[in-house]
Structure 1
């Protein structure tokens, strides 16, 4: 992907049109350069900046410039960190459990948790963090799934039972074995 294609991709997500307005051109080019032109980063970061003021763009650019050029996950994490708490929880739920599930069923689960599921899901989709297939199933890019699962894993690396979510069969069995140690059976 050449520089012009990268800028067009970023412009489409950041402005919902192919080219940035003249007063955002320099900032847009700096964003493309800072993300290394990586398509997923361009899409997610561009979507997160849609309808935001220039000062928000400038702040995002400074944040991105602090991240190592090779660390795509850290660049994507910046968009996660910009989410509201409820949206972060919904993102992590999707990454750990809900990929491939019907959005209406998932929204029913989130509603039961007291979340405003339609508002949160819309925010995740607008930011290109979650997509909905034509069949109505939730999906996300593998790197975003890995980002979400890594965020949860970092909650407690050594004790999966202390994390907010457990999705790995190995971790579930480990937690069940640990929890049942010392229980006597009659």
Structure 2
């Protein structure tokens, strides 16, 4: 059973994926976006803090949290902590991978992120970038205008899941970060 559990951590079982996919696909697009933001950036955050972080977005966060909780996609503790199960986070990864590349609200693929940050690609819909630099990529050179074409970018997470890789992220000295970046 331990090997099955390990396999589930990497990819969802077909039956589980199908059930979670229906739950996600039946959400309103704003609730889908909120689901993804929680899955990648806001898990274990206080609901008041979460609402404040998204206050100037088009998402009705209060209604979205209620919808996600009613559909058992998140839990909100009595203290207001928003929690999403690891399998649901994995479902979020798979939902992003199913989206059309130019319309993704969250970027998670290292090659796509590198291309976007190095070439000033227009990505108006992007609200978050979750960048694991442990993947097999070369050094990353973020251009000075990388974020100019991402006016909705709010979350940027650059991290390593493995220590055996030495990847450097070079940020241009004239870099302007988006004002909504958290």
User: Into which bin does the TM-score normalised by the smaller protein fall?
Assistant: 0.5 to 0.7
SS at match of 1:111: coil
Q: Which structure 1 segments of 5+ residues have no match?
A: 1-68
Counterpart position of 1:34: none
Q: 1:179 to 1:106 in 2, by over 3 A?
A: same
Measured against aligned partners, the alpha-carbon deviations of 1:58-78 in whole angstroms (never above 9, x if no partner) come to xxxxxxxxxxx8431132111
Counterpart position of 1:179: 142
More helix by share: 1
Equivalent residues in 2 for 1:14-163 (5 A)?
70-155=14-99, 156=101, 157=109, 158-161=111-114, 162=116
Counterpart position of 1:166: 129
SS at match of 1:138: strand
Q: Which structure 2 segments of 5+ residues have no match?
A: 1-12, 102-108, 117-122, 144-168, 174-182
Normalised by the size of structure 1, how large is the TM-score? 0.52
How far does residue 134 in structure 1 lie from its aligned partner after superposition? 2.7
How far does residue 127 in structure 1 lie from its aligned partner after superposition? 0.4
How far does residue 107 in structure 1 lie from its aligned partner after superposition? 1.0
- Flag the structure with larger Rg: 1
Q: 1:127 to 1:70 in 2, by over 3 A?
A: same
Normalised by the size of structure 2, how large is the TM-score? 0.53
How far does residue 104 in structure 1 lie from its aligned partner after superposition? 0.5
